[in-house]
Structure 1
């Protein structure tokens, strides 16, 4: 169970508590047996490991790694690995729970998993990061594999790191196992379109929302918090869709141009400088100012708990598209909904990444690869179907989008429990 309970009246910011409460509410709305929530409220397995790394100066530092496997009722657990000093057990468990719901919503045969290492990767050399990555796999290899648990990139990890992890796993197994990990380089079994997948999926959901809200994308403006892989690709696809991206922030600063930022040039600038701050032809922009800008679309693409009870009322956007996991607290979400903001929840909005990870896993099993166009078409179909399922649930149950997404995800997991015989003599009260 979570290590720390919030006091009455406190804003809930612990992601594990948030996930539990939303899942519990969904089981109650769907009138599910109590056992469903008992199964879903905690992970099947959590493993914490110690990873000693010899630093370049000869010192040995022992890092902590965590892997949570929430449920494998739909298939092997699946989820990224993040390197960040703020990684903790509750966060990793919550992320694994959200992944279970994402895979159910987009209809792919994976359960939810997540991993992380408590480390600031900016303080490590490339050699030290490689040793840390390989050590993580050595310690967790017994509970991993293409039929057990499949890692992927996340915050501060990338295809290069996935390649190191794959190589270490292959060495331990004594043969090539490309389906063990996704998000890896193309030359060793990665998929076309995987790097762009999450950002592309975010923009698909925005487009679908705009259709239903009768908005014209060509007349809309957007701001983005975070300019890593997800934020930068979302910006690129927004611009291609006709949306004017006017503001972007990252951990070091932000930029604003009321006439629209040149995204291709900004991506190249950020690659060189490691920040968007100081981009020629733009004004400086703080994170607080970003949220209060006059715009149509706000995309939080950073970390958890960014939109809260303290700042939600400042947001003027018509649509909030959650490219990050857990960027909005319950209090922040309530204020957004009360103010008429259309929220595309994280477990729907950013599910493009795990969807194309599934495509990569399938290609590895087939020993065959698809062109990017085919990957993009398959992603389009999955994301459009998922959005429709959530939106239809919203209309059927007269709820907001976040609750609708949980109803779809939890309902489909409950159906799998029925199919496996975990729940006896019972039928779903509503189609999920």
Structure 2
């Protein structure tokens, strides 16, 4: 049941409004002063507050509203007054009032206004809860040097409209990076539209991306919007870009160049404003060398490169990830949060995680669902498979070049984190020319200011 608070210094008005609103199914509390109102909201949650501007004693209604907002109260507030004027209405609105009604009150209008305010507040709270759930689902966990540098890079790049290419092994969290960029961008209030090229049959990818007209092919019984059109004014995330066919690549190149396209079966162009973020777990340079990916498309997509490190290169983040997934899956399954012993955490922290964060996530979910014990020890963990010993940093790479690149990348990220992303200061401390450091960073997929 929604609760309403009526704040008015006239007892007759308070009682009349209470009777009418209780008949409409609301729970109602009463207050005669602003001070009483502020005390009641500390103890109770109200969907709506009817607040008189001119109160007999103590602070007036406008100052009460101001204090409510300063203290973070999110109830919908309807201001009422027997001395209504434009100035008071404007002040109320600026302070966050939902509406302003004058005395003598029309009971019918008051009821309608209260119902509208309650409905609006319910929608806002539901949306806030959904946003929080999404934020919890896609949070980036970890305080390793690599993760701090990645978050810093995201904060620098996100406000722009530059295209981003995210590279990394399967399960490292490339979609999380894409969502983080979107959530910090000027398009954050628009949709985050995604498509996985590897998950859609090749003959349907073009239709999914660009849409189709009615009768364009067998089974096209009606026209359909493609992802590009849906993402107009928003962000489009192209996952597994390396799996696109040469035909789709050619059309994609034109869309990126002109920001326009024709749906399948149509010759009528559609112009869009789309920020493209793409991701791949493949080596696009090797695909280009083998003739399986267009080099000109690569350069269009790879304006700002991101490299997401595998979990084996940030094993110090494993305990925090265990805690995060433990809380998430315990909550999702209505269970009490479990306690992982130090030995269990150490075992999980020493595993190489070939499936990266996704593998760790699945492991913790399995433990939460399948284990009835409250304390999780080594013997309660599922068989992890593969080796569980940390590899020597010198021997975990197949080639000298990859080992050298990995070391240099880690070293540069450490220096950038030390100097808060300042490339000039990092270069000075490292004893190298700034332009040389910029070139090396670009080659390693590191972005800095």
Q: Under a length normalisation based on structure 2, what TM-score does the superposition of the two structures give?
A: 0.27
Q: Which has the higher contact order (CA 8 A, sep 6+)?
A: 1
Q: Under a length normalisation based on structure 1, what TM-score does the superposition of the two structures give?
A: 0.28
**Which has the greater radius of gyration?**
2
